[in-house]
Amino acid sequence: MSIPALGLGTFRLKDQVVIDSVRNGLDAGYRVIDTAQIYGNEAEVGQAIAASGVSRKDLFITTKIWIDHLAHDRLIPSLQESLHKLGTDHVDLTLIHWPSPNNAVPVSEFMGALAEAKRQGLTRQIGVSNFNIALLREAIAAVGASEIATNQIELHPYLQNRKLVEFAQSQGIHITSYMTLAYGKALQDPVIVQIARNHQATPAQVVLAWAMRLGYAVIPSSTKRENLASNLLAVGLTLSEAEMTQIAALDRNERLTDPDGLAPAWD
């Protein structure tokens, strides 16, 4: 299996808002849905999927294990609860959402439990999120690099995370970019706006096409039906080498997500 290039994120979307977003996304043609235990919307995502009429075999569903559930005896029961909420007997990808603060639960323990969840058929692939190089090394030592499908990290034109990306890719670990549009900041960038004009595209399409061209998966979210449909068109947008270089030059190590007590020491 591989990680699909473009999916629908549901971070910060709750209740009817997330139901509408997932319904509209599935109507527009999305088949990849990214959620998480801590988002508090798995049941609503499941409700929208059930109402959509889209066959489960055509969907790629990701969820993430929250830090309260990392202990060996809690991880699998928490994933089973997520499956119940989502209305499915398995997900396609399960990630560790954040590493255990202060290493309260060792990496080897929760990666071992995650690998066991895969053996039990609860998830088809496993991976991590918000892991730095040191933590990735520990995860690799625990289960092997070939078992880690992706590292989902903050990555956008202003935070290109090249050191971490290079290490992950050297191990065959795919990168999934979250916050790819930098909370919308990148959409106002003059360089990106000009490239969008060159292609008669939207700035969002340009940024998403940039990330996918680099081999990353992207999971933008939107509550607007027209934006959901528009973002899908990024798959068909090809940027020139010069345009890729222009966006590469926007990197300024500007991190937008760095929660105290949760974030590791970033590379």
The answer to whether the beta carbons of residues 264 and 203 sit under 8 Å apart is no
Closest Cα partner for 132 from 146, 153, 160? 153
Residue 166 phi/psi, 5-degree rounding, is -60, -40
SS3 102: helix
Closest Cα partner for 89 from 99, 80, 78, 102? 80
Residue 39 bears catalytic tag? yes
The answer to whether the beta carbons of residues 267 and 133 sit under 8 Å apart is yes
- Rounded to whole angstroms, what are the CA distances from 214 to 13, 53, 105, 185? 28, 33, 33, 20
Catalytic residue among 30, 39, 178, 216: 39
Q: How far apart are CA 148 and CA 246, in angstroms?
A: 32
Closest Cα partner for 126 from 151, 95, 167? 95
Indicate if the alpha-carbon torsion angle 190, 257, 177, 155 is positive or negative.
positive
- Rounded to whole angstroms, what are the CA distances from 205 to 130, 218, 238? 25, 11, 10
Q: Which residues are catalytic?
A: 39
